[in-house]
Amino acid sequence: MITIDMLCYYSKLRYMNAMEKFTYAMLTLLFCVVSRSLAMAVLVLAVNGILTVRKGGIPFSRYWHYLMIPLTFLILSTLAVIINISPVPFDAAAIPLGTYYLTASYASIRKGIQMILTALASVSCLYFLSFNTPMTDVLSVLKKLHCPDLLVELMLLIYRYIFLLLDISFCISLSQDSRLGNRDLKTSMRSFGTMVSVLLIRAMARSGALYDAMEARCYDGRLQVLDEQYPPKRTEILWIFFFESLLFILTIWSKLK
């Protein structure tokens, strides 16, 4: 199984109502993106971390590891905003390069930090949802929100085939390693191309077999999946309402400031 998918099945928040978690994650993400406030980003990061690690029981090392993945890309991409090449040095730092300077200003550094924290807080909202909610529950929420059936069914089938293709690719890669198929760069590239072609053929064969099986079971264009129902709790709804109201007030305050 994918690690995130495996962790969500062990989460203590798995049995919380899926609509509550979805509403909390989406509203928090919306307020975080709209406000673009440092205080908002820090607050959202802290709350999502506490909910995921303390309440959900997800190991902090795993959560930190997954946060570091987008953080690395965010830092590298934000350097273009912070650092400039200018004939005039800015107030924060400046390195002379001939007649020009590799320089940065305090305003650009503040803006870069704000962008990084806002993006990281937004990612933490999605991590909260994915670490604590199985994919089947997310699809059930989308159905209740009247998303097109075709879109939901495509998501379900793609989600299912991710595991099948990962399992097939692992077996092929293991077989190639046992035959020294990755002993050097040239051989590795050839082995990778072979694996991709085999995966394509296997995927086509599996999809045909799946459709035949669905047709044999009177498939009428809709996939019927049993959902586990967890009733919403009044206390949880009140906490979500209180927190989202606080974020709404902070958003209005940041825009009027």
User: How do the domains of the chain map onto residue ranges?
Assistant: 1-133+231-257, 135-226
HSE-CB of 28 using CA atoms within 13 angstroms: 31
CA distance 10 to 65: 18
- The answer to whether residue 47 scores a pLDDT higher than 60 is yes
Mean pLDDT of 157-176: 78
* Structural tokens at position 207: 């999809």
Mean pLDDT along residues 118-142: 87
How far is 30 from 250, CA to CA, in rounded Å? 13
DSSP letter, residue 53: I
Give the residue, 139 or 240, on which the prediction is more confident. Answer: 240
Q: Please name the residue that has the structure tokens 């799946």.
A: 210
Residue 3 and residue 21: Cα distance in Å, rounded? Answer: 20
pLDDT at 147: 81
pLDDT band at 27 (very low <50, low <70, confident <90, very high): very high
The predicted pLDDT at position 225 comes to 67
Which candidate, 35, 72, 46, places its Cα nearest to that of 252?
35
Q: What is the pTM of this model?
A: 0.78
Residue with the two structure tokens 């912070």: 82
Query: Residue 115 pLDDT > 80, yes or no?
Result: yes
